[in-house]
């Protein structure tokens, strides 16, 4: 990966800043045309991007990238283009009686220059999803992909430079130092997706310039299984959510809570679900590898510590008769395709229950009463996602009322992120701000308040000097309020 020199990063930022100030009002036709260019980029070069992701992971099939990255972006672009004209219109608001016959409305204007610092786990989707909202709102965008996916970063940089002028949308490359430089620039908005620890540093750097931020972080997202749940169905959906991208998903179910005594039933159902989704692991192109040896070593360390402290590890085995692992020379990621695991007896003393796992490891915790499960969740930082499985709407609503999370899927996992009319974002330690759909569009807009005064305004009645006329006006207004 060729890192963008710091001076070039500053120059590109200044180029975009000057362009945004020279054109504060970006016509709807130009914003639509930019989105169409981005759509054309994906349509014409999706296979190149998928191949770059495969090269970065070592084992991650183009089909997985199609569904996890490209399809999501295409649907988001189509939705945005369909509704952009309506979202962009000024919004009329009711005027209080004491200000009538004035009129009020809200103008939706571009913020200016938006910075995006993207993660490695979905290196195309999580790089371009906020870009869609920012371009739709009329902003200029600087994108910094993760250094852990250098092939994807280089491919994005090359393609974006073909389709966009550098003062519209550009990609800069580099390591953590480049990301730190980007966070220190006086953007009009900055989006960061990554860990909570790094998110804190990004927020501190942005605060020096009073740059507003959207932080999409992680956390320990629980899956609660209710007593009347169909465990077979829940196990399949939890397995899909947990093992999609080998667990390297910010909203993956991090641990399961189920009524005590059902551990063996759930374990058997989960094994069957995994066998159905992934009959084998090593060499399976649908089962992504862990991104790097360092990340794999971290997961193994978490498991070793948990086992030392008394946890029971259950490694899931391939279905008998599955294809043999290919030679190591076929994709260096084969050796990092970590077999899924269940962990029983995990406690809060274990790092496994203190950190976001970000891998195919699923702790299973038993609870006596639903109150105990809710108390456990509420004792920790607020999660990015929560999953509930059951039949009772009353219990569902009770869980929704008594817990706080970024988003929720009921009787499923992950799927709330695919709903364009639902905001995607965190709360507390799992982040702040949200995007997707109209909410994302508004996140990247300045909503400017406008009051158009009438020549018949009653405001003069409240001007000094304050005397009898003022007293009469106030009494009248109080009766009308």
- CA 285/CA 342 separation, integer angstroms: 22
Question: Which of 109, 126, 113, 213 lies closest to 166 in space, CA to CA?
Answer: 113
SS3 222: strand
pTM over 0.85, yes/no: yes
Same domain, 198 and 295: no
- CA 5/CA 457 separation, integer angstroms: 57
The verdict on residue 466 lying in a domain is: no
Phi, psi of 367 (to 5 degrees): -135, 150
- CA 433/CA 193 separation, integer angstroms: 11
Same domain, 92 and 199: yes
The verdict on residue 20 lying in a domain is: yes
Phi, psi of 152 (to 5 degrees): -65, -40
SS3 274: helix
So what's the pLDDT on residue 366? Answer: 96
The verdict on residue 212 lying in a domain is: yes
CATH of the domain at 142: 3.40.605.10
Residues in the chain: 481
Q: How many domains does the chain have?
A: 2
Same domain, 417 and 438: no
SS3 111: coil
Same domain, 207 and 145: yes
- CA 221/CA 367 separation, integer angstroms: 17
The verdict on residue 476 lying in a domain is: no
The verdict on residue 456 lying in a domain is: no
Query: CB atoms < 10 A from the CB of 468, how many?
Result: 7
So what's the pLDDT on residue 100? Answer: 86
189 forms beta bridges with 114
Whose tokens are 């084969």? That residue is: 334
Give me the active site residues, please.
Answer: 216, 250
The verdict on residue 361 lying in a domain is: yes
C-beta of residue 214 within 8 angstroms of C-beta of residue 435: yes
The tens-digit pLDDT sequence of the chain (481 residues) is: 689 999 999 999 999 999 999 999 999 999 999 999 999 999 999 999 999 999 999 999 999 999 999 999 999 999 999 999 999 999 999 998 888 899 999 999 999 999 999 999 999 999 999 999 999 999 999 999 999 999 999 999 999 999 999 999 999 999 999 999 999 999 999 999 999 999 999 999 999 999 999 999 989 999 999 999 999 999 999 999 999 999 999 999 999 999 999 999 999 999 999 999 999 999 999 999 999 999 999 999 999 999 999 999 999 988 887 776 665 544 578 889 999 999 999 999 999 999 999 999 999 999 999 999 999 999 999 999 999 999 999 999 999 999 999 999 999 999 999 999 999 999 999 999 999 999 999 999 999 999 999 888 877 777 888 888 888 878 877 887 7
Same domain, 207 and 250: no
So what's the pLDDT on residue 329? Answer: 44
The verdict on residue 475 lying in a domain is: no
C-beta of residue 352 within 8 angstroms of C-beta of residue 302: yes
Structural domain for 124, as ranges: 6-217+434-446
pLDDT tens-digit readout, 28-63: 999 999 999 999 999 999 999 999 999 999 999 999
pLDDT tens-digit readout, 118-140: 999 999 999 999 999 999 999 99
Same domain, 209 and 232: no
Same domain, 200 and 267: no
Same domain, 300 and 347: yes
CATH of the domain at 231: 3.40.309.10
Same domain, 163 and 71: yes
So what's the pLDDT on residue 324? Answer: 67
C-beta of residue 281 within 8 angstroms of C-beta of residue 287: yes
Same domain, 266 and 230: yes
- CA 60/CA 73 separation, integer angstroms: 18
The verdict on residue 461 lying in a domain is: no
């Amino acid at each position: 990966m060729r890192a963008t020199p710091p001076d070039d990063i500053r120059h590109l930022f200044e180029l975009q800043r000057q362009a945004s100030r020279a054109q504060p009002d970006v016509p709807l036709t130009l914003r639509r045309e930019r989105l169409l260019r981005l759509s054309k980029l994906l349509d014409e070069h999706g296979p190149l991007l998928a191949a770059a992701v495969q090269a970065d992971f070592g084992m991650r099939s183009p089909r997985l990238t199609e569904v996890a990255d490209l399809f999501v972006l295409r649907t988001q672009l189509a939705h945005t283009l369909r509704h952009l004209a309506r979202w962009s219109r000024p919004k009329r608001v009711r005027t209080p009686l004491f200000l009538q016959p004035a009129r009020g409305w809200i103008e939706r204007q571009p913020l200016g220059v938006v910075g995006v610092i993207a993660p490695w786990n979905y290196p195309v989707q999580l790089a371009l999803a906020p870009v869609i909202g920012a371009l739709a709102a009329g902003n200029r965008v600087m994108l910094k992909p993760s250094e852990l996916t250098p092939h994807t970063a280089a491919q994005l940089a090359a393609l974006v430079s073909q389709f966009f002028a550098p003062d519209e949308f550009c990609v800069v490359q580099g390591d953590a130092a480049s990301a730190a430089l980007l966070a220190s620039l006086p953007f009009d908005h900055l989006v960061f997706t990554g860990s909570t620890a790094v998110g804190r540093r990004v927020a501190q750097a942005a605060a020096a310039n009073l740059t507003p931020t959207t932080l999409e972080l992680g956390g320990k997202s629980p899956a609660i299984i209710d007593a009347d749940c169909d465990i077979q169905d829940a196990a399949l959906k939890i397995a899909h959510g947990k093992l999609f991208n080998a667990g390297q998903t910010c909203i993956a179910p991090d641990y399961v809570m189920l009524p005590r005594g059902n551990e063996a039933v759930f374990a058997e159902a989960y094994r069957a679900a995994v066998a159905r989704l992934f009959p084998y692991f090593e060499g399976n192109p649908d089962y992504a590898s862990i991104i790097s040896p360092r990340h794999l070593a971290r997961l193994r360390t978490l498991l070793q510590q948990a086992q030392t402290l008394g946890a029971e590890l259950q490694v899931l085995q391939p279905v008998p008769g599955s294809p043999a692992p290919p030679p190591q020379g076929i994709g260096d990621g084969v050796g990092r395709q970590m077999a899924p695991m269940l962990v029983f007896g995990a406690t809060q003393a274990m790092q496994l229950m203190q950190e976001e796992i970000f891998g195919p490891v699923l702790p299973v915790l038993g609870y006596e009463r639903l109150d105990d499960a809710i108390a456990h969740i509420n004792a920790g930082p607020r999660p990015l996602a929560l999953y509930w499985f059951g039949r009772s709407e009353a219990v569902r609503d009770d869980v929704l009322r008594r817990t706080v999370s970024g988003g929720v899927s009921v009787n499923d996992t992950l799927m709330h992120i695919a709903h364009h009319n639902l905001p995607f974002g965190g709360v507390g330690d799992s982040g702040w701000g949200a995007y997707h759909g109209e909410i994302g569009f508004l996140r990247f807009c300045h909503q400017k308040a406008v009051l158009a005064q009438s020549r018949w305004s009653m405001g003069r009645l409240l001007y000094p000097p304050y005397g009898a006329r003022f007293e009469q006006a106030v009494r009248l207004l109080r009766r009308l309020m």
